[in-house]
């Protein structure tokens, strides 16, 4: 699971290409150009293109997991909720090319292994969001009018669409600002009155 510096560089370059030019743009030739070396050199660091994508998904999953694990503890559900999404918006705001993490859907067809990696990424996000929402419901901060699962899907769906909009508008608007509005709206909607 360890990764060399060059491998990380390749992962970053691949993410950049994916975000800028989509799946069809991610070719070995383009990747080589982005890295300023030859195509064959890439195969010194990864055995196949699929391996690069898998390593990327894995890196993203671990990265997200780590960031969400290290959020401040011992706060109330609302603050936790806020912190979690602020962290997400903050990260993607700085690392726009990693939105692939949210839109990995586009890679869905490539291979079985990649599909599994996408599932894993989704599971990581769920792992953090679900208990947070459930806890909030228990403490009567979030509404119990609908089930935890449904509430989680409303929140996750809204987040995903927000990121989609950002990408569609070519990262032109301020994600943090717009994200904060989204957080407020969602909280207004799901908090008990």
Partner DNA sequence: TATCTTTGTGAGCGAATACTCACTTACTTT
Partner DNA sequence: AAAGTAAGTGAGTATTCGCTCACAAAGATA
Residue 109 near which of DNA, its own copies, none (CB within 5-8 Å, type-dependent): its own copies
Give the residues across from 179 on adjacent strands: none
Q: Which stretch binds DNA (CB under 7 A): 12-20, 34-42, 70-78, 121-129?
A: 34-42
**Mask of contacts with its own copies, 120-149, x by CB under 8 A?**
--x--------------------x-xxx--
- Taking the C-alpha atoms of residue 137 and residue 140, their distance in angstroms, rounded to an integer, is 5
Written as six digits, the tokens of 114 are: 């990649």
Q: In this structure, what DSSP letter does residue 74 have?
A: S
Written as six digits, the tokens of 54 are: 């898998």
- Taking the C-alpha atoms of residue 27 and residue 15, their distance in angstroms, rounded to an integer, is 12
Give the residues across from 142 on adjacent strands: 191
Footprint of its own copies on this chain (CB under 8 A)?
A: 21-25, 103, 105-106, 108-110, 119, 122, 143, 145-147, 150-151, 153-154, 156-162, 164-165, 168, 181-182, 184-186, 188-190, 193
Footprint of DNA on this chain (CB under 7 A)?
A: 4, 6, 26-30, 37-41, 43-45, 47-50
């Amino acid at each position: 699971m360890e990764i060399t510096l060059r491998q990380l560089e390749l992962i970053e370059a691949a993410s950049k290409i994916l975000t800028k030019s989509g799946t069809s743009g991610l070719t070995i030739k383009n990747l080589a150009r982005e890295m300023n070396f030859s195509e064959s050199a890439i195969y010194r660091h990864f055995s196949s293109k699929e391996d690069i994508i898998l390593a990327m998904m894995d890196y993203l999953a671990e990265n997200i997991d780590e960031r969400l694990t290290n959020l401040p503890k011992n706060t109330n559900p609302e603050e936790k909720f806020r912190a979690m999404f602020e962290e997400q918006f903050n990260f993607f705001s700085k690392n726009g090319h990693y939105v692939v993490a949210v839109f990995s859907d586009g890679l869905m067809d490539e291979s079985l292994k990649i599909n599994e990696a996408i599932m894993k990424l989704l599971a990581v996000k769920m792992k953090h969001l679900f208990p947070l929402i459930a806890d909030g419901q228990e403490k009567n901060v979030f509404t119990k009018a609908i089930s935890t699962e449904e509430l989680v899907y409303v929140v996750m769906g809204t987040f995903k669409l927000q990121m989609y909009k950002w990408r569609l508008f070519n990262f032109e608007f301020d994600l943090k600002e717009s994200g904060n509005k989204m957080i407020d709206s969602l909280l207004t909607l799901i908090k008990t009155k």
